[in-house]
Amino acid sequence: MNLKAVSPITIEAIEAARVRIAGTIVRTPLIRLQTGTGDPEIYLKLENLQPINSFKLRGAANAVAMLAPERRALGVWTISAGNAGQGVAYAARRAGVPCTVVTIETAPETKVERMRALGAHLVKAPFDACWEAMERRAFPGVEGSFVHPFDDDDFIAGNATMGLEIVEDLPEVATVVAAIGGGGLVTGVGSGVRARKPGVRILGAEPETAAPGALSFANGKASVFDRWQATFVDGAGGKSVFPRMWERMRSVVDGSIVVTLDETKRAMRGLAERSRVIAEGAGALAVAAALSGKAGPGPIVAIVSGGNIELTTFCELIGSVR
């Protein structure tokens, strides 16, 4: 397969994406997280308030809109644990074309139900098969135009619109933290922020059970995380960083902070108690990283990337920590 060479996401592409998706996405608020004296100064970028409760709508809306009409008419498909699938399904429905999502068989039922409600046809597969299909950009029996959930210039440009909003709403921002799954969020945000304020630090956040980003930064190359475990943090943390995504990330991301599962649960609880914000595991990673002190004193923007979690599960998780 001949893929387009990796190149920086330009400010022109990001600005064009902002105009293109303005009627689909919400310009989400940036609010101060009330913390204790001596804690870092943290602001929350509330992407859980998007129509699909996830930032993925930004990239998906731009990527589907950028398909040539004849390709879009074939229908679209993607691979997802749930959030990217919802984003592509939402964009496909607006475009009036069919959508198929190859979804990880352990995806939470709340995400599965929402993809179906948006009209997506679902094909379930094991995590490893999905991860391999993202590299091959093909899956047996699935046809249509493939929308990669992170390794795609148009998807990343859509994500990058968030970076422009952050700098406009908090010009004094010193650090931005975003969860790393495939890398499309942190790369996009880094591209958008750095286009306006080159000196801002951009950091990833990963769970201790799935931290190939931190390993890749430590090794100076795309790396495989051999100790991967499936957890409630289903929307972030892969088994490896794809080489193409490492090429994208390393020029706009400064490193990745690894947090424990308990730190993530405490961040979920703190968001609910202090800000009345419901975040899924992946959505709370950036907040956990910011609260750890490893991102500095601030001002820090922690991206609450999603809130798609079954409420019983949410209550169980936050009830297990103090």
| Cis, peptide link before residue 299, omega less than 30° from 0 | yes
Q: In angstroms, rounded to a whole number, what is the distance separating the alpha carbons of residues 300 and 173? A: 6
Please classify residue 3 by burial: count the beta carbons closer than 10 Å to its beta carbon, then call 0-12 exposed, 13-18 middle and 19+ buried. Answer: exposed
Pairing of strands 201-207, 255-259: parallel
Nearest to residue 162, comparing CAs of 187, 180, 199, 198?
Answer: 187
How many Å is the Cα radius of gyration of the chain? 18
pTM: 0.94
Helix (H) or strand (E) holding 104: strand 99-104
pLDDT digits (tens, 9 = 90+) for 281-307: 999 999 999 999 999 998 999 999 999
- pLDDT of 1: 63
Owner of token pair 């996405």: 25
Helix (H) or strand (E) holding 15: helix 11-21
pLDDT digits (tens, 9 = 90+) for 21-46: 999 999 999 999 998 778 899 999 99
List of the chain residues with pLDDT < 50: none
- pLDDT of 235: 82
Owner of token pair 């943390």: 237
Residues of the chain with CATH 3.40.50.1100: 11-54+153-319, 57-146
Q: Take residue 48 and report the two structure tokens written for it.
A: 């859980």
Residues in the chain: 322
- pLDDT of 131: 86
Domain at 11-54+153-319, CATH class: alpha beta
* Overall fold of domain 57-146: Rossmann fold (3.40.50)
